[in-house]
Amino acid sequence: MSMFSGLIRVMERAARKAGGRLRRDFGEVEHLQVSRKGPADFVSKADMRAERTLYDELLHARPDWGFVMEEAGVIEGAPDMPRWIIDPLDGTSNFLHGIPHFAISIAVQEPRLDGKGWGDVTAAVVYHPLNDETYWAEKTRGAWLQDARLRVSARSRPSDALIATGIPFQGHGDFAEWSRIYGAIGPQVAGIRRFGAASLDMAYVAQGRFDGFWESGLNDWDTAAGCLLIREAGGFVSDYRGRSNPIHSAQVLAANDALHSKLHKILANALK
């Protein structure tokens, strides 16, 4: 059994508080007031309330830290302190349509030692409010679901693999690129799933439910926690060229090492 560190306890407490409000709002989703902020990109009062709850809780716990948030944007902290990267409601469209698959994602990113930008993600929480599941990871401490250690799947053959993805939609993503990748990967794997919440897709890769994941056109708050979860569960995360950075959002390809190599080859050939 692993014990939560003080930092993970702070993150989980904030996620649970915001998650409780999301559960209540989800129960009355038909009454939510929803505003359109872009093509097929909705933000609800529930989303903004959850973000405010997370901000208040985390600011109280670490007053010198900065924030990167989906709705409020970047709030600078002390220059030598970490920052929170927050998605208060990943899977907003699911939420607004009454589909019970959404999550809260919180990550901690450290400043680079040379003072030039941002470096490693060192702590992560992905909280599934309806299932009351807390996926969490800390650098060098592994990835966990509550107190159960997570490991990526051991499947190394694409023909055995269940792969998750996100599909471009109105105003978002490159459908031609996605179609080429799908056309190359689809015939070689056991199945492809699209659930609509990247943070949970990546948590499921860390858990071994999914064997791999690819998507492009995301934001750091969608994937920062998921990247650490997968790596601490023994997996590999890169962009479409195979390069590894602390956070991948513009392009994400994740799997165990053996499967990642094979999927990368398929994907790279598709995009030549």
Specify the range with the lowest mean pLDDT, choosing from 32-36, 64-68, 120-124, 146-150.
Answer: 32-36
How confident is the model over 246-258, as a mean pLDDT?
Answer: 96
Euclidean distance between CA atoms 89 and 15, whole angstroms: 10
pLDDT at 173: 76
Residue 2 has pLDDT above 70, yes or no: no
pLDDT for res 178: 95
pLDDT at 84 over 70: yes
Within 10 A of 112 (CB to CB), how many other CB atoms are there?
Answer: 12
Determine the CATH number of domain 6-149. Answer: 3.30.540.10
Q: Tell which CATH architecture fits domain 158-270.
A: 3-Layer(aba) Sandwich (3.40)
Name the residue with tokens 């959850």: 50
Measure the CA–CA gap between 49 and 92, rounded to whole angstroms: 13
271: enclosing H helix or E strand: none
Instruction: Say yes or no to pLDDT of 40 above 50.
Output: no
Residue 154 to residue 50: CA distance in whole angstroms? 36
Give 169-187 pLDDT, tens digit per residue.
877 778 999 999 999 999 9
* Domain boundaries defined on the chain: 6-149, 158-270
> Sorting pLDDT into bands at 50, 70 and 90, what band is 37?
low
Residue 70 scores a pLDDT above 90: no
What number is the average pLDDT over the span 136-152?
97
Average pLDDT of the chain? 93
What is the secondary structure of 226-247 as a DSSP string?
A: HHHHHHHTTEEEE-TTS---S-
**Looking at residues 33-53, what average pLDDT do you find?**
76
**Closest Cα partner for 135 from 227, 213, 67?**
227
The pLDDT assigned to 1 comes to 41
Give the per-residue pLDDT at 115.
Answer: 83
Q: What average pLDDT does this structure show over 97-109? A: 95
Judge whether residue 161 has pLDDT over 80.
yes
**Is a pLDDT exceeding 60 seen at residue 41?**
no
- Dihedral of CA atoms 12, 17, 18, 23 in degrees, nearest 10, equals 110
CB atoms within 10 A of CB 97: 11
